[in-house]
Amino acid sequence: MAHRRLIPQNKGVYNLSKFYYFPKSHPLTDGIGRNLPAAYKRYYEELNQNPSAVHHIPVKEKFARDPNTGVVTRLQDDPPNIFYPKAFHKGLWGGAGIVKGFNHPHVKLPRLPKFWSPKFETSVVYSEVLDLFMTTIMTKRTIQLIHKYYGFDHYLLQTPACDLKSDLALKIKRNILLALDKNDLPHTDPEKRQQIYDTYKHYLKKYDSEYIEWYGLSIAEAVLKFEFDQEKARGKPQPLKLQYRHEFLKELQEDARLVKNEVKPVTPESRLTSFFDKINPFRRNRS
Amino acid sequence: MFQVLVRRAPKLTDNVFSASIPMRNKTLMRVPVTDTSKLVPLVDETQKFVPVLHRRHEVPLRRINGPSKRMRSRHFVYDEIVQPKQTMADVEIILVKDVPGKGVRGTKLKIPGEKAYAEFLIPQYAVYATPENELKYASLIEDVEKNTLFSTLTAQKTTLCLAQVMVFFYMNMKNPWTIEKWHARVSFRQSGIILSEDCIELPKTPISGPDPKKEGKHFIVTVKINAKETAKVLCRVNHFISDDDQKLPVHPHFTPPYDPIFEEDKADIEAFVHNRSEIKRFKF
C-alpha cells in the first residue's frame, strides 16, 4: 500500500491540515448518523467510556512521593492494549479480552511474541426476566460477577455498557429492558410474573423508555431503525395514478357542470383550420 | 529456556552466559525482570482467573488528559502476575427444593462458587442468600434449624437409593417355607444391601410356599434407617431349584407385569414404579 501522503485523496489535505482544523469524520457526525436521536448518542457515549481494569492493576493515585528522597513524581494509568475478536461478541467473557505483547523471560534471550487470553468454558446462564436458559462460551470471571450481583439479570442491569461490551450481552440486556419497560414478561403464571416484575422494576428509574428503545444497537442497526421509523411516520406511499384519476374526475365533473349551465366550451377560432387540416398535403396518413 | 540456550551455544567449552550470545540493545537489558509476586495481593478477586499483566518498561508521561505518546515495542513487554492456584470464593445459598445428600427445603449452604452455580443455582434447586430472600424464606429456614427432619444428611439419600433397588427372594421350589427375617436379610445381601434383622419389617400376613400362584409376584418390605426414617423396598418371589431342566425364567428387575401378592399393595407398587424414574434424575 502506498504511503498515506501519496494517496490522491489525502495529498492536499495533509499539507492544509497544518493550517486548518479538519474534524475527523465519524458515523455519528456525518451522513445519516448525524440525524440519530440524542438517546442513541447517549448510549454510544456510555459504550465508549473507559472500561474497568481487568488485565492490569490500576494506578489510582495521581502523584507519589519517594519515601527516601521525598521527591514527588506524577503517575499515570496505562492499561495494556486489549483487543476483542469476533468470538468475543458471540459469548459472555465478562469484559476480559485478549492481550498481544512480548514475553521476555530472561535478559539474555530474545523476547518472543505472545497472546494472553482467559480460559473459556461452555456453560449455561439463566435470565429470570426472559425465563430463558442459554448455552454460551463464558469465563470464570463471568460466573464470579454473576455471584457478585446475585444473579445474571442483576449483573447485566447494574453494569454499564462499556464493561459488558459483548454484542450478545448487550442484546440480552436490551431484551430484558424492553420486556420490563412494556411489562410483557413471558411467564405463564401471573403471580410469578408480577413478583419478578416487582423485583426488577426499580431499574427502570435509571433508564427512560426512549433510551431503552435505542439501547444496545450498533450504528448500522440504529440507522436502519431510524429510517424504518421515518418511513412509518411518512405512511404508505400512494401511486400517482390515483392522484391523476382524481384530478381527471374533477375535470370531467366541471365540464358536466358547464354543459348544464350552457356555457359554450372554448372553440377554435375559425372553422377553416379544421378544413385545412384535412387537405394538408404533408400529412403522413392519407386517408 | 534451557533448550534455547543449548541451541545458541554449539561449543560446550564456552560459558553459556558469555558474550557468544548476541545482545541487541544493552540499555534495555538493564531493566530488571519485575518481581510480580509482590503485586499478587493487589489483584482484585474477579481477576483471579484472567491473565493480569504488568508492563516491564514504563510508558513516558503524557500531558494530563492529553493523547498518549508514541509507544515503542519495548512498552509491550509484559510480565504476567502468576497467582497461586485457588478455587472460587464460597457462596451462600438457600435450598428451595429437597436435594438428597445436601439438605431439605430451607437449609442454608456455603459452598464454592462454581459448584453452587452449576449444581444448585442453574437447575433451580437453590437461590442466593440475599437479605430479601432470607426474609422471604424466613419461616422455612427457622423450621430447618429448629427441628431436623432427617437423622443424618445421608439418610434421605439412602431412602432414595433403596427405592431404586428390587430385591429378589429366591425360595425353594420343593420344600415348604414361610418368609422370615433371615430370608430377607440374605436376599438383601444378595442384591448388595447389608443390614441387620432389627431394621427389617415384613408384611403382616405371612407369605408361605412353594406356591405357583406367587411366582414372580411382588410385595413391599419396609426398612428403618437410624430408627427414624422408613424406606419402602420392592421385593419379588422367585422359585428356585438347582436342577437346570426345572429352572424357571427370572425377569430382570423393574419389568412388567407388576403383579402384587396382596391386592392392597397394588396402588402402592404402581406408584413405586412411577416415582422411580423421577428419583433417578438425582446424582448420588
pLDDT digits (tens, 9 = 90+) for B149-176: 677 778 878 888 888 889 999 999 999 9
Please give the share of chain A, as a percent, with pLDDT higher than 70.
84
What is residue B9's predicted lDDT score, i.e. its pLDDT?
Answer: 53
Q: B130, A146: Cβ pair inside 8 Å?
A: no
| B-contacting residues in A 90-129 (Cβ below 8 Å) | 94, 96, 99-111, 114, 116-119, 123-124, 126
Which of the 8 DSSP states describes residue A236?
A: P
pLDDT for B27 equals 56
**Nearest one of A166, A27, A155 to A84, comparing CA atoms:** A166
For residue B54, give the nearest of A56, A114, A141 by CB distance: A56
Restricting to A residues 196-225, those with a Cβ less than 8 Å away from any Cβ of B are 199
pLDDT of residue B2: 60
pLDDT tens across B203-213, in order? 999 999 899 99
Q: Pull the grid cell for residue A153.
A: 439479570
CA–CA gap between residue B201 and residue B184 (Å, rounded)? 9
- Residues from chain B that touch A53, judged by Cβ atoms under 8 A, are 44
User: What is the residue whose three cell numbers read 430472600?
Assistant: B133
Residue B55 in contact with residue B36, Cβ under 8 Å?
no
Segment A28-53 mean pLDDT: 91
Answer yes or no: pTM beyond 0.80: no
**Interface with chain A: mutation pick from B78, B83, B96, highest number of A CBs within 10 Å:** B78
Query: Helical H runs in chain A?
Result: 8-16, 38-47, 140-148, 152-158, 161-164, 167-182, 190-200, 209-213, 219-234, 240-260, 272-278
Percent of chain B with pLDDT over 90: 51
CB B219 within 8 A of CB B206: no
Contact list, B6 vs chain A (CB under 8 Å): none
d(CA B95, CA B98) in angstroms, rounded, equals: 7
So what's the pLDDT on residue A56?
95
Nearest to A64 by CA among A76, A47, A48, A78: A76
Contact across the interface for B48 and A111, Cβ inside 8 Å: no
Query: C-alpha cell of A57?
Result: 492493576
Contact residues, chain B, for A102 at CB < 8 Å = 73, 76-78
CA distance A169 to chain B (A): 18
- B230-262 pLDDT per residue, tens: 899 999 999 999 999 999 999 988 888 889 999
**How many Å apart are CA A177 and CA A164, to the nearest integer?**
15
A24 interface with B at CB cutoff 8 Å: no
The burial class, CB within 10 Å (0-12 / 13-18 / 19+), for B188 is buried
pLDDT in tens, A69-95: 999 999 999 999 999 999 999 999 999
Residue A16 reports pLDDT greater than 90: no
Share of chain A above pLDDT 90, in %: 72
Q: Would you call A81 an interface residue with chain B, using a CB distance cutoff of 8 Å? A: yes
Interchain CB distance below 8 Å, A143 and B88:
yes
Contacts of B59 in chain A (CB under 8 A): 76, 78
Question: Residues B262, B267, B268, B271: what is their CA dihedral angle, to the nearest 10 degrees?
Answer: 150
Alpha-carbon dihedral of residues A97, A148, A184, A218, nearest 10 degrees? Answer: -20
CA of B264 to nearest chain A CA: how many angstroms apart? 39
Q: Which is nearest to B132 in space by CA: A202, A157, A207?
A: A202
Mean local confidence (pLDDT), A4-15 = 60
- What is the mean pLDDT of the segment spanning A43-56? 94
**What's the rounded mean pLDDT across residues B27-47?**
82
Rounded to a whole number of angstroms, the distance from the CA of A108 to the nearest CA of chain B is 7
Is the confidence at residue A37, as pLDDT, over 80? yes
CA neighbor of B162 nearest in space, from B192, B123, B119:
B192
pLDDT bucket at A182, cuts 50 / 70 / 90: very high
The pLDDT score that the predictor gives to residue A213 is: 95
Whole-Å CA distances, A176 to A149, A186, A218, B124: 16, 11, 17, 20
CA triple A59-A61-A63, angle to 5 deg: 120
Say if residue B4's pLDDT is above 90.
no
Cβ atoms of residues B31 and B57 within 8 Å: yes
Residue A249 pLDDT > 90: yes
- The answer to whether A57 contacts B113, with C-beta atoms less than 8 Å apart, is no
User: Across the A/B interface, how many CB contacts are shorter than 8 Å?
Assistant: 116
Average pLDDT over residues A177-194: 95
Work out the minimum CA distance from A104 to partner chain B, whole angstroms.
7
Question: What letter represents residue A254's amino acid?
Answer: E
A197-202: list long-range contacts, CB under 8 Å, 24+ apart.
A199/B132, A200/A128, A200/A129, A200/A153, A200/A157, A200/A176
Chain A: closest CA distance from residue B77 (Å): 5
- In B, which residues are within 8 Å of A99 by CB distance? 51, 53, 78
- Per-residue confidence (pLDDT) for residue A9, from 0 to 100: 64
What number of CA atoms fall less than 13 Å from residue A26's CA on the CB side?
A: 10
Phi and psi based region of residue B194 (left: phi greater than 0; alpha: psi -120 to 50; beta: remaining): beta
What is the spatial distance between Cα B238 and Cα B248, in angstroms, rounded to a whole number?
8
Complex ipTM value:
0.74
What number of other Cβ atoms are within 10 A of residue B75's Cβ? 20
Residue B81: list chain A partners with CB under 8 A: 57
Q: What is the pLDDT of residue B235?
A: 94
Confidence of residue A105 (pLDDT cuts 50, 70, 90): confident
Q: Do residues B107 and B95 make contact, with C-beta atoms less than 8 angstroms apart?
A: yes
CA of B40 vs chain A CAs: smallest distance (Å): 10
Assess whether pLDDT exceeds 80 at residue A285.
no
Reply yes or no on whether the pLDDT at B103 is more than 90: no
Q: Smallest Cβ distance to B51: which of A104, A106, A118?
A: A118
CA A225 to chain B, closest CA, distance in angstroms equals: 35
State mean pLDDT over B191-209.
93
Put simply, the answer to whether A78 touches B44 (Cβ < 8 Å) is no
Please state, rounded to an integer, the average pLDDT across all residues of chain B. Answer: 86
Q: In the 3-class helix/strand/coil scheme, how is chain B assigned residue by residue? A: CHHHHHHHCCCCCCCCCCCCCCCCCHHHHCCCCCCHHHHHHHCCHHHCCCCCEEECCCCCCCCCCCCCCCCCHHHHEEEECCCCCCCCCEEEEEECCCECCCECCCCEEEEEHHHHHHHHHCCCCEEECCHHHHHHCHHHHHHHHHCCCCCCHHHHHHHHHHHCCEEEEEEECCCCEECCHHHHHHHHHHCCCCCCHHHEECCCCCCEECCHHHCCCEEEEEEEECCCEEEEEEEEEEEECCCCCCCCCCCCCCCCCCCECCHHHHHHHHHHHHHHHHHCCCCC
Which chain A residue is nearest to residue B131, measuring alpha carbons?
A150
Residues of chain A in contact with residue B23, where contact means CB-CB under 8 angstroms, are 108
Q: What is the tens place of the pLDDT at every residue in B129-155?
A: 999 999 999 999 888 888 766 777 788
- Chain A positions touching B55 (Cβ under 8 A) are 78, 80
